[in-house]
Structure 1
């Protein structure tokens, strides 16, 4: 039987800290802090809800991060 894979470590970073930042600056900051994937979404976008370790999601409205969450 194959071993259970260990998910990659996520940065010790608070998603709430990105809310209110300009989207381009927030993405740059997230990548500098170690997030492997940064996904930018429009409000109300239809997305899959699978959790992906190391991913940070931004909901962007008028060029500003309105909501941010892991996975």
Structure 2
């Protein structure tokens, strides 16, 4: 039997620290801090609600992060 895959660990990083940053700078910082996936979304984007370990989501308004959350 194959081993059960182990999800990668999430960085110990608060999404709140990205709010207000320039979207490009926020993405670079998130990747440097170990987030495997960084997703930038426009306000009101329709997205699925599945939780993905290691993913950081940004709602970007006028080039700045307005909201950030894990998963």
Alignment partner of 1:51 is 2:51: yes
Alignment partner of 1:19 is 2:13: no
Aligned residues: 71
CA RMSD of aligned residues (A): 1.1
Q: Could you state the TM-score of these two structures normalised by the residue count of structure 1?
A: 0.93
Q: Show the counterpart of 1:34.
A: 34
CA distance in 1, matches of 2:70, 2:49: 11
SS of the residue corresponding to residue 31 of structure 1 reads helix
CA deviation after TM superposition for structure 1 residue 2, in Å: 5.8
